[in-house]
Amino acid sequence: MESDYTDHKGRKMAVSLFSSAGIGELGIEKNAIDVIAASELKGDRGKLYNENFPETKMFVGDIWETKEDIINYSIDALQNEELFLLYATPPCQGMSTNGVGKLNAEARNGNRPAEDPRNRLVLPAMDVISKLHPRWVLFENVSGMQNTMIKVAEHGEPVRILDYIAEQLGPEYAGRGEVLSCADYGIPQIRKRLISVFTRDPEGIAYFRANDGTFFPSDERTKPVTLREAIGGIPPLDAKPGREAKKDFHPLHYVNILNPEKYLWVTHTPEGDTAFNNQCINPDCGSQENPRYVDKHQEGRWQSNKLTPIYCVQCGLLLPRPTMTDPQSGERRLISGFHSAYRRMPWDEPSRTLTRNFPFEASDNKIHPEQNRVLSVYEALVIQSITDYEYRWEIGGKPVTRSLIAQAIGESVPPKLIDFIVSKMLRISAGLMRSSYQAELFDPK
């Protein structure tokens, strides 16, 4: 293994695990902390990471195989200085609350092992953490991780991941996992995530004690930023040929063209509602009495309601609701979908959680509050707070594909949240927040 490393002497250092393209890292480097090593399974994400953080040693591959190299390289690069932060964002697909119903159904059908092997990636992560002994540990994951159980030993009983982390860290560390919404920290997005902060820093331990064990006291939350405030001033686009891009404004301010049918459904969807509730557009009828779409929770998952009418109950004309011609019966029927599909976001709330599917109109809550289109890539960058930082979407001087950008955004941690957390860790470690925990520091119980 290569043992060359950039000299980081005199600087605070971090190691990142499951780093993807390094979006969250923007919030670490903003605080003058050098990320000395990072790791990622997928080559294209690793390359994009390297473009943006050329000083960081990126280990591409499965962490089960790269962990020893990550440990050895980091020990070398640390040159006997401490590691300030270990930042780990394991993949969430195996834990996502969104996908629990689907995962359970797949497990029941025998298509997937009951325990998703991705949930066990915390094991190699803890091996790295134990060896590098960081001052602070920060995990980010979907809130579903709170109750996710894993088998640590082949024949052992499953344990909660969070309990496993705390046990592995041992009594030297204090901290816990907390579910918070990014919207409370200046990010224009209701993105609920489990943020777990642990520390062995006496200042940090005293801080936790003085604040009932939380790193996120409620008085630090800020007023949510609405979509209107975040993207209201961006030039309009329309998902029609010739009107779908404003590249003079920003090369990433563009959207897909919608086919005429979808365009019609979207055009008739009011702010905050879904196209499944669209009413009659026959000028001689215009009935607003057509039953609305109701989906049902059954067998642990949401099921679409096939009983929602697609023809106007008054005049019988086809409603502008998402429908298709069934290939078998040749009859028109409602497209399978849920209450959040083909839904326009409201202007005066933060955006709903961005996923890698944000460029698609059928994805959850992704229609622009007022214009006939989904969010542009540029708007997604704003909503994920990436435009507050500098990031280049290029590899070797060539722009990367929109698919890679969408994956990187959808799976990323908003850098503004990481910025907030890391700057707070630094202030606590520097003793700058002592007023709130002076007594605990000098009189530990």
Which chain residues interact with ligand SAM by CB under 6 A?
A: 18-24, 39-42, 45, 62-63, 89, 91-92, 121, 411-413
CA distance 319 to 60: 50
Closest CB to ligand SAM: residue number: 24
Nearer to ligand SAM, 17 or 310 (CB): 17
Q: 18-55 as b/e, with b when 16 or more CB fall inside 10 Å? A: bbbbbbbbbbbbbbebbbbbbbbbeebbbbbbbbbbee
C-beta closer to ligand SAM: residue 60 or 334: 60
Considering the complex, what minimum distance in angstroms separates the CB of residue 128 from ligand SAM? 11
| Core vs surface per residue 340-367: b (16+ CB within 10 A) or e | bbbbbbbbebbbbbbbbebbebbbbbbb
Closest to ligand SAM by CB, 18 or 53:
18
Nearer to ligand SAM, 19 or 365 (CB): 19
Q: How far is the CB of 198 from ligand SAM (least distance, A)?
A: 17
Q: Residue 329 burial by CB count (10 A; 0-12/13-18/19+): exposed, middle or buried?
A: exposed
CB 291 to ligand SAM: min, Å: 40
Identify the bridge partners of residue 17 per DSSP, sorted by sequence position. 88
**258 CB-near residues (< 8 Å, 6+ apart):** 239, 240, 266, 361, 372, 373
Q: Which is nearer to ligand SAM, 70 or 205 (CB)?
A: 70
Neighbours of 421 (CB within 10 A): 25
User: Toward ligand SAM, which CB reaches closer, 45 or 262?
Assistant: 45
Report, in Å, the least distance between residue 29 CB and ligand SAM. Answer: 12
The minimum distance between CB 186 and ligand SAM, in angstroms, equals 17
| Dist CA 239 CA 374 (whole Å) | 8
Q: How far is the CB of 55 from ligand SAM (least distance, A)?
A: 17
